[in-house]
Structure 1
Amino acid sequence: MNIYAVLSILFWSTVASVFKLTLSRIDPVSMLLYSSITSTLVFLLVNMIRKPGNWSSIRANYNSILLGFVNPFFYYLVLFTAYSRLPAQEAQALNYTWPIMLVLFSSYLLRQPVTLNEVFGVLLGFLGIVIIGTRGDISSLSFKDPVGDGLALSSAMLFAMYWILNLQDDRRAEVKMFWNFLFGSVYISLYAIGLGGVKLDPLGILGAVYIGIFEMGVTYLLWLKALETDRAGKVASLIYLTPVISLGIISLTVGEKIMASTVVGLGLILSGVFLSRRGGGPAGI
């Protein structure tokens, strides 16, 4: 078993619960600011250790002016706001549709042909979305929190868009992640100042620091290391365990009763992602 993949999955499985618990102490903007600054420091440390040749060159990193706006600023702002409105199990499952969104965007923006597997994968994924959003009451087609569901799905779209932009950036991962999060932290700081500042809560800040390390920072590098040290397709398949393990952690730590509609809907979404990958999706999904 690839230890880097195991650690990545375990860390990522905890973050939905930490999102929800931290949001009970501070608002989404404060949480994003603290976590983004933490991640920036993590990537700064990694770059100082590895000393890549162009990591300190601003001119070489203009791409991050846009990438940092998409992620972490806009993506996580939308995602955290979704978590503030929805049960953690619902927000997580809907956000996990991003690989399916990636298939759609790749077809349209990159002119990549869509396979039959990908078509069925998209249909399964969207059926899962309807089941989760209506909490099993499909006949009514009435979403319990349409704004929250829309935000969670929008976050999936934003992350898929970020992935496509990221594919066109050939800088080393730790280099572009540092610059992305540096610019992102600037955007978040300006946004927070415009809103009148951030909330100071010791436990909330501690939760945000955890998110900055284990959602945005170290775990991302562990996952890249896992892909480098083992067969990419084999490792990527393990990521399906993350939302499943996460449901158990959400139930234990947040106290949410896991709804049957979440289990069924998530199963359909994961099946859709699996089919999409068989159609030739990126190995990192």
Structure 2
Amino acid sequence: MTRALTRPAATLIGFSAVSLWALLAFLTAASGTMPAFQLTAITFGIGGLAGVALWLLRPQAIKALRQPLPVWLLGVVGLFGYHFCYFFALRNAPPVEAGLINYLWPVLIVVFSALLPGERLKPQHLIGCALAVIGAVLVITKGQGFSFDPQYALGYGAALAAALIWSSYSVLSRRFAAVSSDAITGFCLATAVLSGLCHFIFEPTIWPANPWQWAAIVALGLGPVGLAFYVWDIGVKRGDIQILGATSYLTPLLSTLILILTGYAQYSHFVLVACILITAGALIAAKDMLLAGRRPRPAP
């Protein structure tokens, strides 16, 4: 199915992951006080089981699990390794600074993508990323600045490792473009099992207090921690990975806007400035794709 997609169409499908990830903070806040690894185990389990359920409609999809070891290593290290390092960073460093370092992954995707066959890093990609990075800093710090304390070096290192893991996973996935996105089902289930083990080792067990919290957890598993990884896989394999990297900075902005609209955060003028910067950066990075349809076709 994905082989028939055009590059712009695959890019738009990949961008839908950014929209889904924007719901992550809101749904996590609505899910209650469940510990991080427990929540990860349950939501990835839901996302993986949803993929298994679709096998009833597409029985041939189960064949996607028959992959060589390098594919499994990339998928499991990408999904589980990223979340493990990110949660470790949040436990061992201030969340603002850890979040800033973690959000190096979009610009790293843009830079690393230049190493892929057929890809070329253009000035517009770097300019777009630079504007988006500034906007993301405003969103994450709420315009109040930040500082790095050497005593949190371990946490900062884990945040950087998370950024490197996710950017490397996203770029290296292009090397395995022939692998069906149905394989994500297996990666999600493996991540759920490994996260469950980490939960039993490091965390207490806390269950949701009401049906609304359960609903938020199910929504997490079906959307930001489920469908998002499938469509992201299509995007990075067949779409414009540099545009996806630059536009990924919309995630913290959209996430903040959703939190404001739902009452979990308050509006501030820095959000408007960040919106202008990130949107401008995304448009600059995607200039070629946006103008492609307006270019005159050569005469036959």
Q: What TM-score do the two structures reach when normalised by structure 1?
A: 0.69
Counterpart selection for 1:165 from 154, 158, 172 = 172
Check the 8 A contact 1:69/1:183 in 2, yes or no.
no
Q: Is residue 177 of structure 2 the alignment partner of residue 177 of structure 1?
A: no
Counterpart selection for 2:218 from 185, 205, 209 = 209
Q: Is residue 113 of structure 2 the alignment partner of residue 106 of structure 1?
A: yes
Amino acid corresponding to residue 29 of structure 1 in structure 2: F
Check the 8 A contact 1:25/1:201 in 2, yes or no.
yes
User: RMSD across aligned C-alpha pairs, in angstroms?
Assistant: 4.5
Check the 8 A contact 1:9/1:241 in 2, yes or no.
yes
The residue aligned with 1:50 is: 58
Amino acid corresponding to residue 195 of structure 1 in structure 2: F
The residue aligned with 1:76 is: 83
Q: Is residue 209 of structure 2 the alignment partner of residue 190 of structure 1?
A: no
Q: CA deviation at 1:276?
A: 2.8
Indicate the larger mover: 29-38 or 195-204: 195-204
Q: CA deviation at 1:17?
A: 0.6
Count of aligned pairs between the two proteins: 265
Amino acid corresponding to residue 260 of structure 2 in structure 1: S
Inter-partner Cα distance in structure 2 for 1:209 and 1:14? 13
Check the 8 A contact 1:133/1:149 in 2, yes or no.
no
Check the 8 A contact 2:135/2:278 in 1, yes or no.
yes
Inter-partner Cα distance in structure 2 for 1:272 and 1:114? 15
The residue aligned with 2:295 is: none
Structure number with greater Rg is: 2
Check the 8 A contact 2:132/2:279 in 1, yes or no.
yes
Inter-partner Cα distance in structure 2 for 1:9 and 1:196? 29
Amino acid corresponding to residue 110 of structure 2 in structure 1: V
Q: CA deviation at 1:251?
A: 1.4
Inter-partner Cα distance in structure 2 for 1:267 and 1:98? 21
Inter-partner Cα distance in structure 2 for 1:255 and 1:218? 24
Check the 8 A contact 1:134/1:143 in 2, yes or no.
no
The residue aligned with 2:281 is: 272
Amino acid corresponding to residue 273 of structure 1 in structure 2: A
Inter-partner Cα distance in structure 2 for 1:223 and 1:133? 23
Q: CA deviation at 1:135?
A: 3.3
Query: Is there any run of 5+ residues in structure 1 with no aligned partner, and where?
Result: 281-285
Q: Is residue 207 of structure 2 the alignment partner of residue 200 of structure 1?
A: yes
- Rate the CA distance shift 1:187–1:122 in 2: closer, same or farther, 3 A: same
- Rate the CA distance shift 1:113–1:226 in 2: closer, same or farther, 3 A: closer
Amino acid corresponding to residue 210 of structure 1 in structure 2: A
Amino acid corresponding to residue 135 of structure 2 in structure 1: G
Counterpart selection for 2:270 from 261, 265, 276 = 261
Q: What TM-score do the two structures reach when normalised by structure 2?
A: 0.66
Check the 8 A contact 1:47/1:55 in 2, yes or no.
no
- Rate the CA distance shift 1:156–1:264 in 2: closer, same or farther, 3 A: farther
Q: CA deviation at 1:154?
A: 6.1
Amino acid corresponding to residue 107 of structure 1 in structure 2: A
Inter-partner Cα distance in structure 1 for 2:175 and 2:204? 35
